[in-house]
């Protein structure tokens, strides 16, 4: 079994890398001086960060390759797209062409990046319970900044205020809640849909369709509810229900960040209802997380089932409600949106 396909081997690899890199830090400094020391220190920090924050997850450390006598850290496109640096209370990020939408970045990657600012904040307690992102204006290609402020910390919950900006322009506002969960009575009233196994559904041929670049970052297998962008005379559907299997492409173990992005990996409901492509843009996105980290760990690389529908389309805006399930029927997240559309 290859290192890439076995999460347990990944975790063992990370642990061994920590030991090897620690010794390398010392001997490199002794033998080759400061420049070599800083290379290994940078590598050590990347591996250590991955291990501490996503144990048994290796999306950040994709592989280590020998390139022309040197070592290079190769990261998953998702982790590169959401990468942040932190200085003086502000996070700095960079838009990614790999997750481009028709205008600006894909909303799911923006939401995941804003959540990452919370997850990497030194004052954070608990794990995500909810996230709301309001998209006030398109994000331009290039550098952006995020401020994440813990507005209040209680015994079980921590409340966050978020802002993404470029220059003097606020482009996204948001809130998040993290929580320390405890064991209580639990139940679920939603039912897992009866659907074919993902192996029986063909993947969306993204290379042959006029779709934004972010779509090619996911392996999407639509069971029901996909617009025909090539239809010459589109006919309205009676509903906007979509059922689809979806996972990162290439494979990446699931965590809160990738789950956040997948919550937005649906085409606008108006596309499905009217069976045609027209201008549409999310105004506000909210996600409720119903799973803990260990439940996401258990998913690994398996596809998730997305179930989405619209409720009402009225004078330029519609809503969108979706559920995200694990393959074994565990409800991981629910999400709502309000979306602008134009006839």
**CA torsion angle 285 288 292 295 (round to 10):** -80
Look at residue 207 in the predicted model and tell me its pLDDT: 77
Look at residue 232 in the predicted model and tell me its pLDDT: 62
Residues of the chain with CATH 2.40.160.210: 79-179, 198-341
**What tens digit of pLDDT does each residue of 105-119 get?**
999 999 999 999 999
d(CA 277, CA 182): 45
Look at residue 62 in the predicted model and tell me its pLDDT: 45
Its pTM stands at 0.81
Fold of 79-179: Porin (2.40.160)
Look at residue 7 in the predicted model and tell me its pLDDT: 39
Low-confidence ranges of the chain (pLDDT < 70): 1-73, 229-233
The architecture of the domain spanning 198-341 is Beta Barrel (2.40)
Look at residue 244 in the predicted model and tell me its pLDDT: 98
**What tens digit of pLDDT does each residue of 20-54 get?**
443 443 333 333 343 333 333 334 334 433 434 43
Look at residue 86 in the predicted model and tell me its pLDDT: 95
Judged on CB neighbours under 10 Å (0-12, 13-18, 19+), 174 is buried
Structure tokens at 175: 């809130």
Look at residue 278 in the predicted model and tell me its pLDDT: 87
- Rounded to whole angstroms, the maximal C-alpha distance in the chain is 72
Look at residue 254 in the predicted model and tell me its pLDDT: 98
């Amino acid at each position: 079994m290859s290192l890439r396909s076995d999460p347990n081997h990944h975790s063992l690899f990370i642990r061994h890398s920590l030991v090897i890199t620690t010794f390398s830090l010392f001997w490199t400094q002794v033998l080759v001086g400061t420049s070599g020391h800083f290379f290994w220190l940078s590598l050590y920090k990347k591996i250590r960060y991955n291990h501490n924050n996503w144990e048994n997850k290796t999306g950040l450390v994709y592989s280590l390759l020998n390139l022309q006598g040197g070592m290079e850290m190769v990261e998953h496109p998702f982790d590169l797209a959401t990468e942040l640096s932190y200085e003086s209370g502000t996070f700095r990020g960079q838009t990614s062409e790999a997750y481009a939408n028709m205008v600006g970045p894909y909303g799911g990657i923006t939401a995941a990046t804003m959540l990452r600012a919370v997850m990497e904040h030194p004052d954070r307690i608990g794990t995500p319970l909810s996230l709301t992102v309001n998209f006030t204006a398109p994000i331009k290609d290039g550098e952006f900044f995020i401020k994440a402020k813990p507005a209040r910390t209680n015994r079980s919950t921590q409340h966050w205020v978020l802002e993404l900006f470029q220059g003097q322009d606020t482009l996204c506002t948001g809130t998040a809640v993290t929580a320390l969960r405890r064991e209580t009575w639990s139940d679920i009233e939603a039912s897992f849909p009866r659907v074919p196994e993902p192996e029986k559904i063909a993947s969306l041929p993204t290379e042959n369709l006029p779709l934004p670049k972010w779509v090619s970052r996911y392996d999407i297998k639509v069971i029901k509810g996909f617009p025909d962008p090539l239809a010459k005379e589109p006919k309205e559907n009676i509903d906007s229900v979509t059922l689809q299997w979806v996972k990162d492409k290439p494979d990446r173990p699931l965590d809160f960040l990738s789950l956040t992005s997948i919550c937005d990996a649906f085409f606008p409901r108006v596309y499905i209802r009217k069976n045609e492509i027209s201008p549409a843009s999310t105004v506000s996105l909210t996600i409720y997380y119903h799973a803990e980290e260990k439940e996401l760990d258990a998913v690994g690389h398996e596809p998730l089932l997305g179930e989405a529908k619209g409720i009402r389309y009225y004078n330029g805006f519609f809503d969108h409600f979706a559920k995200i399930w694990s393959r074994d029927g565990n409800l991981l997240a629910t999400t709502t949106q309000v979306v602008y559309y134009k006839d």
